[in-house]
Amino acid sequence: MPEDANPEADLSFLKITANTDFPRWAKRPDLIRFFNETMKPYHDTPEDVASALDYALDPGRAGFVMLAHEDEKLLGALTMLDSGMGGYIPRWILLFVSVQPDARGGGIGRRLIERSLAECDGPVKLHVEYDNPAKRLYERMGFVSKYAEMRWEPSA
Ligand SMILES: CC(C)(COP(=O)(O)OP(=O)(O)OC[C@H]1O[C@@H](n2cnc3c(N)ncnc32)[C@H](O)[C@@H]1OP(=O)(O)O)[C@@H](O)C(=O)NCCC(=O)NCCS
């Protein structure tokens, strides 16, 4: 489990690449709950978070979960998928990022995203609701919106 401490503050990062890597202070069910509860109202169901973690941590892919923590206190987490694509569609998809509500606005989210982008060898794609204030943070970090996302749903 590679771990590095940030000398600027008591914030450390832990990169998880397998389901067996979760530390005792942030077990897999804790992470599922964390993403489901702290991302509200932009959250996914626990079932969808669980399958996203399965995809990210599939041994055949290079996706990961990055934890931001102070000692054994979880402050934030990010899930990055390895889509297996490349060229016309970015390989990397930043799927979930969240910081504990009482720790927001202090730069943890930015540092967690920067630390995770450093692990990616090419373009990273994400989607964010137009009204989510996180959109401003992404824009300040250099993310640009080049295309409108459109979806077609099969009728029942
Ligand atoms: C988005 C998020 C991870 C940023 O983490 P953070 O530690 O607060 O971020 P930073 O301190 O580095 O940067 C603050 C920026 O985050 C954004 N932000 C979003 N929600 C925020 C909140 N509740 N409090 C403070 N900043 C928030 C703002 O853009 C803010 O910048 P601003 O000065 O332009 O308003 C965090 O706010 C969060 O967990 N939000 C809920 C989950 C979510 O919506 N995730 C993104 C899904 S696409």
Protein residue whose Cα sits closest to atom 1 of ligand 1 = 134
Tens digit of pLDDT at every position of the chain (156 positions): 445 554 455 899 999 999 999 999 999 999 999 999 999 999 999 999 999 999 999 999 999 999 999 999 999 999 999 999 988 899 999 999 999 999 999 999 999 999 999 999 999 999 999 999 999 999 999 999 989 999 999 997
Separation CA 87–CA 17 (nearest Å): 24
Q: Find how far residue 78's CA is from the centre of its chain.
A: 2
Atom of ligand 1 nearest to the CA of 137: 29
Q: What pLDDT is recorded for position 1?
A: 43
Q: What is the atom index within ligand 1 of the atom nearest the CA of 98?
A: 39
CATH topology of domain 3-140: Aminopeptidase (3.40.630)
Tell me the whole-structure pTM to 2 decimals: 0.92
Nearest to 35 by CA among 95, 81, 92, 108: 95
**What's the CA gap between 68 and 75, in Å, rounded?**
5
Which pLDDT does position 7 carry in this prediction?
47
The CA 133 to ligand 1 mean position distance, Å, reads: 6
Structure tokens at 136: 């401003």
Q: Where along the chain do its domains lie? A: 3-140
In ligand 1, which atom is closest to the CA atom of 99? Answer: 39
